[in-house]
Amino acid sequence: MNLACVEQIAKAVLYEGYMLYPYRPSSVKNQQRWNFGVLYPQAYSELQDGDEAFSMRTECLVCGTEETALEVRLRFLHLRTRSTRQSSPDSFQSFPDGWQEAVERDVSAQEYTLERLCQETVMHEFAFPSQTDVSSETGAGGNSENVVRRQLAVGGAIEIFAEKLLDKLFKVRICVRNLTPLESAAASRDHALLHSLVSAHMISGVRNGEFVSLLDPPPEFQDFAGGCRNVGAWPVLVGEPGQRDTLLASPIILYDYPQIAPESAGDLFDGTEIDEILSLRIMTLTDEEKREIRQSDERARQVLERTEAMPAEQFMKLHGAVRGLRPLKEEDAL
């Protein structure tokens, strides 16, 4: 599987909203956290009458034989709260919710042949327990602080099934469900988010076979491609154009073989990748706002430090680029 390409796409667009623009808790904009691809606990979803999803489903086509092997990986962000306790025993400070951090989670289901998947639905369960970590760090004023990071449990299941459509064509269905139990039936949205799979996406790879593009299928497979039902996921081919061994099931609409613009100096965690505008906004932050960023999440610190250190020639490259030109047809000019 082409994991390097998926990693770039995930950081560029799938993690949008992970840090609330413009990356500081004192901002009056975007007071409520949001992300693409959030899978809430099933109990919370049911209390919301299904308005908040707890599952995602991907259906795709694979050309191969019964011996073709399929591998599935689920990736998501697992949120955690961050608070600080000053060295003084009676001094305690909690960071606002905007400074929730996140840990990347990677769940790999074992490789299965299409023959096995046609015979039965296989289920791969996963769980990450709650934990609390305390570390000593130096605060902005040089004082020693105890940083407390608390993470609640998440768990769920990946279900995989295949159906033979033609001699060498199979339909694969992959479902992910968040089955984390809630401590309270009346849990708030913020609390439910700590038990959620955030920015969830799936990567599938095949050995001795290839995926069929659902956006541009061969004519003989168009009806089968139209019969694939995807819920909360948009499967696209990834890698170099022409490669068909890796499929990304994204929570947002992408095209086959998405690429990161070469002018981009790094991740800004914004789905539109408007690097120039966001970089300019970061440069206008006050010293106090920058201090807030440096005391927050590691990804936020990296965004700030990279932007501050960006050479002028690199910044000018963000201003715009022409990807290609085509001759103007007579009907276009009318």
Residue 332 lies in a domain: no
224-to-169, 173, 207, 215, 229 alpha-carbon distances in Å: 9, 13, 21, 12, 10
Hey, what are 279's tokens?
A: 């970089």
Residue 162 phi, psi dihedral angles, 5° rounding: -135, 150
Give the chain's domain count.
1
Task: Please check the confidence at residue 245 and state whether its pLDDT lies above 90.
Answer: yes
Predicted local confidence at residue 270, as pLDDT: 46
Sorted by sequence, the CB contacts under 8 Å of residue 243 that are 6+ apart come out as 2, 237, 257
Residue 72 maps to a domain: yes
Dihedrals φ, ψ of 189, to 5°? -60, -45
Among 307, 306, 298, residue whose Cα is nearest residue 100: 298
For residue 320, which of 266, 263, 282 has the smallest C-alpha distance?
263
Residue 7 lies in a domain: no
Task: State the pLDDT confidence band at 174, using cuts at 50, 70 and 90.
Answer: very high
Q: Does residue 319 form part of some domain?
A: no
* 288 within domain boundaries: no
Any domain includes 320: no
Q: Which residue has the higher pLDDT, 265 or 239?
A: 239
Classify residue 305: in a domain, yes or no: no
93 DSSP β-pair partners: 84
Inside any domain, residue 291: no
Q: What is the pTM of this model?
A: 0.77
Render pLDDT for 284-313 as a digit per residue (tens, 0 to 9).
677 777 776 676 667 677 777 777 777 766
Alpha helices, DSSP H, located in 127-274: 189-193, 222-226
Q: Highest mean pLDDT: which of 82-91, 161-170, 313-322? A: 161-170
Q: What is the pLDDT of residues 29-61, one digit of tens each?
A: 545 556 788 999 999 999 988 889 999 999 999
Domain that holds residue 67: 33-257
